[in-house]
Amino acid sequence: MLRRALLALALLAAPAAAQEGPVTSERATFRVTTFATGLERPWGAVFLPDGTMLVTERPGRLRRIGTDGRVSAPLGGVPQVDANGQGGLLDIALAPDFARTREVFLCQSALVEGGSLTRLVVARLSPATDALTGVRRIIDAGPPQESGRLHYGCRIVFGPEGHIFLSTGERNERARAQRLDDLAGKVLRLTRDGRVPPDNPFVGRADARPEIWSYGHRHPQGLAFNPWTGSLWEAEFGPRGGDEINVIRRGANYGWPVVSHGREYWGPRISREVSAPGMEDPIHVWVPSVSPSGITFYDGAAFPGWRGSLFAAAQSTPGLVRLTTDGDRVTGEERLFWGKIAFRHQVVGPDGRLYLLTDENEGRILRLDPA
């Protein structure tokens, strides 16, 4: 049963450290701290081994945030992005062996001949200059599209075997999600240097791109491995309703736009069907929409009651969703900060606290501390 925690957050505007008074939710009591300010549309974040944080800003900047919350000047060497519409500098991930290689992976929208597309690049974070060096393109999720700057997807995760999984949106051209000769509206799987693993599902098919791991996605901005089952979970925006949480399976078709729980923005249903043979059903659906962006499994020690939860940053209605899980099932839902503030992503810190990226022009990072 849907359960909501409507939290009073008037104090969030204050540039203070810890806010007054604890907040009690279903399985935890916490305080909200404004950890960092002065960011413009923060989108992705990772913690470095020294406890500092790298954060992307959608207009095309990369910042380092100290353990005290101080925000650096923009780092040098960041590749040029097409920061129009929903595009820009989007997700960031560290190589599993970052401590040795210093490799950082970035997902962005890029302008090329023929239009714009989702691009994955890798670079090295210089320990001497704190700038990116040796930027190299891994893959362009083409073909490029001239019209519109929507639905780039652009979330990156590393699998347990070291391969990269990248989500791509269908660029608001629905038919692209079902086309296997097109990398839009997909989850892709690559080696870290951009090669195709030989066990990808469409290797050897002349009518399909071998980078594809799954297809039939609309606008997937959430991607995370379940640390307890090892499965890959994905969140994607529906139109009016029909937001989904999916468990991603090798070679599977997730249906967009052939099946959907959503409606056109002007009213009628997208599809008569919400399920069809040969297409995977979502494990959780939102009608009406919450517009889920980044997703994060919580396995920290700071909030024992939240272990096993999946957090989803919500855009509309703005807030934070916490899903309880049992294996690869969703068993419950709690809504925090509901109707108060939109979030783009959240990450678990080395201290087990939850760090929330607000989707604002005057963006902040909020930290949830145990109370």
Which residue type, as a one-letter code, is found at position 236? E
Q: Which two tokens stand for residue 345?
A: 């992503």
The separation between the first and the last C-alpha atoms of the chain, rounded to the nearest angstrom, is: 27
DSSP letter at 308 equals T
Contacts of 259 (CB under 8 A, 6+ apart): 271, 273, 274, 275, 276, 279
Q: Which two tokens stand for residue 185?
A: 């509206």
Q: Are 360 and 345 in contact (CB under 8 A)?
A: no
Active site annotation includes 151: yes
Which residue type, as a one-letter code, is found at position 4? R
**100 burial via Cβ count (<10 Å: 0-12, 13-18, 19+):** exposed
The pairing of beta strand 329-336 with beta strand 2-4? parallel
Q: Which two tokens stand for residue 2?
A: 């849907």
Contacts of 199 (CB under 8 A, 6+ apart): none
Of 270, 211, 208, 195, whose CA–CA distance to 237 is shortest? 270
DSSP string, 254-272: --TTTS-S-B-TTSSBS-S
- From the list 151, 163, 219, 284, the catalytic residue is 151
Could you give the residue numbers annotated as active site?
Answer: 151
